[in-house]
């Protein structure tokens, strides 16, 4: 195999599906059954009247595997459209996380300062804890959570990545 | 593409009220279904009741649900129609799973209706409940659980549409018992438009033009054809023949595509792949332009991927984009239906006044003829013991001028059947290729016989495989389906024994067929006819007897136990690591350097 085909890439895919029972199981079963990676997967209904859901999947693989993933998704019967945002270029990627930190004294104030720097909001507070809400690219959230570790990080809940292309056109 | 034949005149008008069970029967009738294969049980009793009250659709009662699906596969593959199956919940559905997986792998259009426990019981471990849509999701093209009787007719028509359009495959419709009893509104098939599923059939002009230019510039072209040509319908076979004649390009096929191109044609190279011919595999290895037509670069074909046809530019015509660039990166992918694409290519070829390089093709054919002269299928004849190859040759000779359909089980006998039966027409050869399901052949023969009552249908079997769905002899008897089971009885799971001999130091672990039944008595017990033959001299007469009997026959053909199936490319090896039988002719200088490494 030429080297180019062996290169592992990270791709973000948007998948528009009929919101019918089992559709998520189909997508996940496809990934587990064929041994593809799922780094992140999010799903939610985006149009109630037309019963459409949008799935955002972040995956890694060689270019040949990524092409397979797109084609395999596309041939699932309830799938309307698959878009490889990474291939198509300009797109936005965001993730939301809630980060719980427990501490008092200097650690607590340091946590608050850092939260401000990261534009994280406090959405719950007790005398010994905060829950921060932070939105951004996944690596920003990784970094924030990492910085909170020595300051009393208790737990993190993350939504997974949602993504959309820039400009006026739709999926 | 195959389309079910329903006459609009008999279609039930949209808006009629009826029960779910009646809808199933109506939808079948509207889809032009004449035969279904099934087995009753508690969760499908309302549908069986509706069946009882009509006479448009004939139900063939099998003896095991796996066989119902294989029979429907045989019916579908031999007729171009959708095969229809009806099974109950729980064990009925799980028994059908092997058949569904088989149909998925081999792209066979099947609609399988399964009963389910009543909707309010789902999820409660009710009697004979299983998660049928969950279990069958990875082994169907699509599946449905219908919770509302008013969705049922639409789902049924969609199921037929999905099963036969695009790359064909099995579709399961799971119907809870209360939905079968409930009354709702029927919609006819003409009112159904699938929301999302629109396979791409036509290729772009630019691709067609690029493809014909590539073929015209080739010096060593080859057409590598597959099951997709059969899936596409008889027109695809006709166009393949015409285009091959027009271009003079050699043609090989996978196991699944046999018959699409006539074996008697001088441009035919025989089957390729693991047990394919020397000439087909070497031509694939050495070609400079490969046109893959409805085949999927299966590992039985490519062998070691990095050594597969290293000097070739590849064009791949396939209706399923996920088949393209899956195993082998191709230079020119063409997504579309074989018949449409070949039609467009033929027209472009003529319009541009193209022709292949005559001198180059002459040299290419000379090379191929040298490979052919090795006679890779030659075997050591015997007048004391029946060689399995000889048995197939004699069988083929006796049936070839008849209206014949051949099915197989899985093993050496299957490969010998592929090598020594020569097919002139598509849809005459029914075998389990992708899943390789032992037990496929007898039920598939039953399905083919049902679709072609006047034809001769022969299941070429092994003594081990046949025991997997032996019980279907009883189905053949009940429905007067005079199928012939021709067992190459080598008292071994021969294909397993062969691998153990070649790759596991001759340690024959559990591959001897111990405690075999007496197949002649067994045939008798079923009410059929048993014939045994163990002498080459008696073979022709015995085969004639088998053919002349108008009842199901089990023919126990006692063959050489040690024979191996050659040529063989051991799995994971390159084409030039092919093993040939000891009767193949040695060629010294006549072959290329690459060819020399072969023996
Ligand atoms: C014991 C054993 C040994 C075997 N040895 C061999 C061997 O030596 N040689 C061999 O060839 N096989 C062999 N097989 C079979 C092998 O496993 C595969 O089943 C077979 O090679 C696949 O055939 P195919 O590529 O034609 O694909 P199929 O499985 O027939 O798939 C058809 C392809 O065509 C496409 N298609 C479908 N409809 C259309 C349409 N209308 N238009 C365009 N494209 C369409 C599909 O998307 C798919 O990609 C063996 C099997 C067994 C059990
Ligand atoms: C259901 C199933 N189980 C196991 C296998 C593995 N297998 C492939 S060929 C074979 C032996 C078949 O023996 P037989 O039917 O006697 O055919 P022969 O090879 O002897 O011609 C086996 C066990 C299979 N293909 N299918
Ligand atoms: Mg055997």
Domain co-membership, A54 together with A123: no
* Closest CA–CA distance from residue B18 to any residue of chain A (Å): 25
Q: Tell me what ipTM this predicted complex has.
A: 0.92
- Structural domain including A139 reads 92-164
Task: State the best of A34, A77, A82 to mutate against chain B, taking most chain B CBs within 10 Å.
Answer: A77
* Chain B CB within 8 Å of residue A109 CB: no
Give the C-alpha separation, B436 to B300, whole Å: 12
Residue ending a domain, among A89, A118, A151, is: A89
Which of the 8 DSSP states describes residue B538? G
Domain co-membership, A47 together with A124: no
- From the CB of B298, is ligand 1 less than 6 Å away? yes
CATH of the domain at A102: 3.30.70.1150
* Closest CA–CA distance from residue A161 to any residue of chain B (Å): 26
Q: Which ligand is nearest to the CA of B409?
A: 2
Domain co-membership, A14 together with A69: yes
Confidence at residue A142, expressed as pLDDT on a 0 to 100 scale:
97
Instruction: Establish whether the linkage from the previous residue to B567 is cis, with ω within 30° of 0.
Output: yes
Name the band, by pLDDT with cuts 50, 70 and 90, for residue B590: very low
Give the residue among B409, B396, B368, B419 at the shortest CA–CA distance from B564.
Answer: B419
B424 is catalytic: no
B158 is catalytic: no
The mean per-residue pLDDT over the stretch B178-191 comes to 95
Residue A54 covered by a domain: yes
Strand B142-145 and strand B83-87: the pairing is unpaired
Burial B528-564 (b: 16+ CB within 10 A, else e): bbbbbbeebeebeebbeebbeeebbbbbbbbbbeebb
Give the C-alpha separation, B578 to B592, whole Å: 15
Domain co-membership, A72 together with A137: no
Contact A71 B324 (CB under 8 A): yes
**pTM value?**
0.95
Name the band, by pLDDT with cuts 50, 70 and 90, for residue B10: low
Which residue among the candidates B22, B65, B393, B472 is catalytic per the annotation? B65
Task: State the best of B196, B200, B297, B323 to mutate against chain A, taking most chain A CBs within 10 Å.
Answer: B196
Domain co-membership, A99 together with A147: yes
* Ligand 2 site-directed mutation target among B106, B493, B564, most atoms within 8 Å of CB: B493
- Structural domain including B287 reads 205-372
For the segment B287-310, what is each residue's pLDDT rounded down to a tens digit? 999 999 999 999 999 988 999 999
Domain co-membership, A68 together with A11: yes
Judge whether residue A6 has pLDDT over 80.
Answer: no
Residues of A in contact with B166 (CB under 8 A): 75
Domain co-membership, B235 together with B349: yes
Residue A171 covered by a domain: no
B495 is catalytic: yes
Out of B134, B196, B322, closest to residue A72 by CB: B322
- From the CB of B376, is ligand 1 less than 6 Å away? no
For the segment A89-132, what is each residue's pLDDT rounded down to a tens digit? 899 999 999 999 999 999 999 999 999 999 999 999 999 999 99
The helix-helix angle for B205-217 and B338-351 (nearest 10°) equals 60
Residue B213 covered by a domain: yes
Domain co-membership, B141 together with B287: no
B308 is catalytic: no
- From the CB of B106, is ligand 1 less than 6 Å away? yes
Domain co-membership, A67 together with A111: no
| Residues paired with B37 in a beta bridge | B60, B85
Q: Could you identify the atom of ligand 2 that is nearest to the CA of residue B439?
A: 1
In sequence order, the 6+-apart residues with CB closer than 8 A to the CB of B3 are: B164
CATH of the domain at A39: 3.30.70.260
Residue A55 covered by a domain: yes
Residue ending a domain, among A89, A106, A122, is: A89
Domain co-membership, A78 together with A144: no
Name the band, by pLDDT with cuts 50, 70 and 90, for residue B11: low
Residue B581 covered by a domain: no
Domain co-membership, B160 together with B304: no
Residue B589 covered by a domain: no
Domain co-membership, A97 together with A152: yes
* Chain position carrying tokens 């005459």: B428
Q: What does each C-alpha distance from B589 to A131, A160, B370 come to in angstroms? A: 80, 64, 10
Residue A169 covered by a domain: no
Domain co-membership, B228 together with B166: no
Give the residue among B449, B541, B533 at the shortest CA–CA distance from B486.
Answer: B533
Residue A124 covered by a domain: yes
For the segment A57-83, what is each residue's pLDDT rounded down to a tens digit? 999 999 999 999 999 999 999 999 999
Domain co-membership, B121 together with B8: yes
Q: B206 φ, ψ to 5°?
A: -60, -40
Domain co-membership, B160 together with B258: no
Residue A107 covered by a domain: yes
Confidence at residue B2, expressed as pLDDT on a 0 to 100 scale:
40
Residue A133 covered by a domain: yes
Domain co-membership, A104 together with A157: yes
Task: State the best of B322, B323, B325, B329 to mutate against chain A, taking most chain A CBs within 10 Å.
Answer: B322
Residue ending a domain, among A67, A89, A111, is: A89
Distance B462 CA to ligand 3 centre (A): 4
Domain co-membership, B244 together with B130: no
Q: Could you identify the atom of ligand 2 that is nearest to the CA of residue B98?
A: 1
Domain co-membership, A148 together with A73: no
Give the C-alpha separation, B407 to B413, whole Å: 11
Judge whether residue B9 has pLDDT over 80.
Answer: no
* Closest CA–CA distance from residue A30 to any residue of chain B (Å): 8
CB-hemisphere CA count at 13 Å for B242?
15
Structure tokens at B283: 């031509």
- From the CB of B410, is ligand 1 less than 6 Å away? yes
Give the C-alpha separation, B37 to B444, whole Å: 11
Out of A5, A68, A80, closest to residue B196 by CB: A80
Give the residue among A108, A56, A41 at the shortest CA–CA distance from A86.
Answer: A56
CATH of the domain at B285: 3.40.50.1220
Domain co-membership, A85 together with A20: yes
For the segment B406-452, what is each residue's pLDDT rounded down to a tens digit? 999 999 999 999 999 999 999 999 999 999 999 999 999 999 999 99
Confidence at residue B3, expressed as pLDDT on a 0 to 100 scale:
43
Q: Which ligand is nearest to the CA of B493?
A: 2
Structure tokens at B553: 């026959």
Residues of B in contact with A25 (CB under 8 A): 134, 137
Strand B553-558 and strand B529-533: the pairing is parallel
Residue B541 covered by a domain: yes
Judge whether residue B191 has pLDDT over 90.
Answer: no
Confidence at residue A5, expressed as pLDDT on a 0 to 100 scale:
54
Give the C-alpha separation, B435 to B388, whole Å: 24
Residue B303 covered by a domain: yes
For the segment B468-525, what is each residue's pLDDT rounded down to a tens digit? 999 999 999 999 999 999 999 999 999 999 999 998 999 999 999 999 999 999 999 9
For the segment B202-220, what is each residue's pLDDT rounded down to a tens digit? 999 999 999 999 999 999 9
Domain co-membership, B291 together with B171: no
Residue B563 covered by a domain: no
The helix-helix angle for B494-503 and B412-420 (nearest 10°) equals 100
Residue B577 covered by a domain: no
- Per the prediction, chain B carries an average pLDDT of 95
| Residues paired with A158 in a beta bridge | A97
φ/ψ region of A105 (left if φ > 0, alpha if ψ in -120 to 50, else beta) reads left
Judge whether residue B5 has pLDDT over 60.
Answer: no
Give the C-alpha separation, B299 to B254, whole Å: 11
Residues of B in contact with A64 (CB under 8 A): 325-326, 329
Domain co-membership, B414 together with B502: yes
Residues of B in contact with A72 (CB under 8 A): 322
Domain co-membership, B367 together with B417: no
For the segment A9-34, what is each residue's pLDDT rounded down to a tens digit? 999 999 999 999 999 999 999 999 99
Residue B569 covered by a domain: no
Give the residue among B10, B38, B37 at the shortest CA–CA distance from B26.
Answer: B10
Domain co-membership, B358 together with B413: no
- From the CB of B293, is ligand 1 less than 6 Å away? no
Name the domain count of chain A: 2
CATH of the domain at B175: 3.40.50.970
Name the domain count of chain B: 3
Domain co-membership, B187 together with B212: no
């Amino acid at each position: 195999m030429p080297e180019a085909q062996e290169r592992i890439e990270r791709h973000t895919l948007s998948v528009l599906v009929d919101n019918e029972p089992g559709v998520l199981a189909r997508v996940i079963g496809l990934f587990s059954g064929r041994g593809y990676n799922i780094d992140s997967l999010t799903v939610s209904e985006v149009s109630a009247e037309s019963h459409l859901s949008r799935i955002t999947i972040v995956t890694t693989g060689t270019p040949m595997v990524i092409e397979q993933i797109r084609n395999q998704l596309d041939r699932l019967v309830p799938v309307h459209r698959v878009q490889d945002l990474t291939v198509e270029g300009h797109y936005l990627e965001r993730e939301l996380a809630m980060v719980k930190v427990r501490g008092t004294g200097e650690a607590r104030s340091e946590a608050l300062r850092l939260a401000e720097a990261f534009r994280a909001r406090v959405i719950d507070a007790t005398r010994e804890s905060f829950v921060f809400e932070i939105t951004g690219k996944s690596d920003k959230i990784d970094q924030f959570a990492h910085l909170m570790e020595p300051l009393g990080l208790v737990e993190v809940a993350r939504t997974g990545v949602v993504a959309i292309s820039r400009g006026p056109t739709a999926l | 593409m195959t389309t079910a034949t329903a006459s609009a005149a008999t279609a039930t008008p949209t808006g009629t009220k009826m029960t779910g069970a009646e809808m199933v029967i109506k939808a079948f009738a509207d889809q032009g279904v004449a035969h279904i294969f099934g087995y009753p049980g508690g969760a499908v009793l309302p549908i069986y009741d509706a069946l009882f009250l009509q006479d448009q659709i004939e139900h063939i009662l099998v003896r095991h649900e796996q066989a119902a699906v294989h029979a429907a596969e045989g019916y579908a593959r031999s007729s171009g129609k959708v095969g229809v199956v009806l099974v109950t919940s729980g064990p009925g559905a799980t028994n059908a799973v092997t058949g569904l997986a088989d149909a998925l792998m081999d792209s066979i259009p099947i609609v399988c209706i399964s009963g389910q426990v009543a909707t309010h019981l789902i999820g409660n471990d009710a009697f004979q409940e299983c998660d049928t849509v969950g279990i069958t999701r990875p082994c169907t093209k699509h599946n449905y659980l219908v919770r509302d009787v008013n969705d049922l007719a639409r789902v049924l028509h969609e199921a037929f549409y999905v099963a036969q359009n695009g790359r064909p495959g099995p579709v399961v419709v799971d119907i809870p018992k209360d939905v079968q009893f409930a009354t709702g509104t029927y919609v006819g098939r003409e009112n159904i438009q699938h929301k999302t599923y629109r396979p791409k059939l036509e290729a772009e002009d630019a691709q067609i033009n690029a493809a014909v230019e590539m073929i015209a510039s080739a010096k060593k072209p080859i057409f590598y054809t597959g099951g997709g040509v059969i899936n596409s319908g008889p027109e695809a076979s006709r166009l393949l023949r015409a285009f091959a004649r027009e271009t003079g390009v050699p043609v090989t096929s996978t196991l699944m595509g046999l018959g699409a191109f006539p074996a008697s044609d001088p441009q035919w190279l025989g089957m390729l792949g693991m047990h394919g011919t020397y000439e087909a595999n070497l031509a694939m290895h050495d070609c400079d332009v490969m046109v893959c037509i409805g085949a999927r670069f299966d590992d039985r074909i490519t062998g070691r991927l990095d050594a597969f046809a290293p000097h070739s530019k590849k064009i791949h015509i396939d209706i399923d984009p996920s088949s393209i660039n899956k195993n082998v990166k191709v230079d020119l992918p063409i997504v579309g239906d074989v018949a449409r694409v070949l039609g467009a290519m033929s027209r472009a070829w003529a319009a541009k006044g193209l022709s292949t390089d005559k001198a180059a093709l002459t040299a290419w054919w000379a090379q191929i003829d040298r490979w052919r002269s090795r006679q890779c299928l030659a075997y050591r004849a015997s007048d004391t013991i029946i060689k399995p190859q000889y048995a197939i040759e004699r069988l083929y000779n006796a049936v070839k001028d008849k209206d014949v359909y051949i099915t197989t089980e899985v093993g050496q006998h299957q490969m010998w059947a592929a090598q020594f039966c020569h097919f002139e027409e598509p849809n005459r050869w029914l075998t389990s290729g992708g899943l390789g399901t032992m037990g496929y052949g007898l039920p598939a023969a039953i399905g083919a016989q049902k679709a072609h009552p006047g034809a001769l249908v022969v299941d070429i079997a092994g003594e081990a495989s046949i025991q997997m769905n032996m019980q279907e002899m009883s189905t053949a008897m009940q429905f007067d389906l005079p199928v012939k089971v021709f067992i190459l009885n080598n008292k071994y799971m021969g294909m397993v024994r062969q691998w153990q001999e070649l790759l596991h130091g001759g340690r024959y672990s559990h591959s001897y067929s111990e405690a075999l039944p007496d197949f002649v008595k067994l045939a008798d017990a079923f009410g059929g006819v048993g014939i045994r033959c163990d002498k080459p001299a008696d073979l022709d007469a015995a085969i004639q007897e088998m053919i002349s009997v108008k009842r199901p026959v089990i023919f126990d053909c006692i063959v050489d136990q040690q024979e191996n199936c050659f040529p063989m490319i051991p799995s994971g090896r390159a084409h030039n690591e092919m093993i040939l039988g000891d009767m193949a002719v040695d060629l010294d200088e006549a072959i290329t350097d690459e060819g020399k490494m072969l023996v």
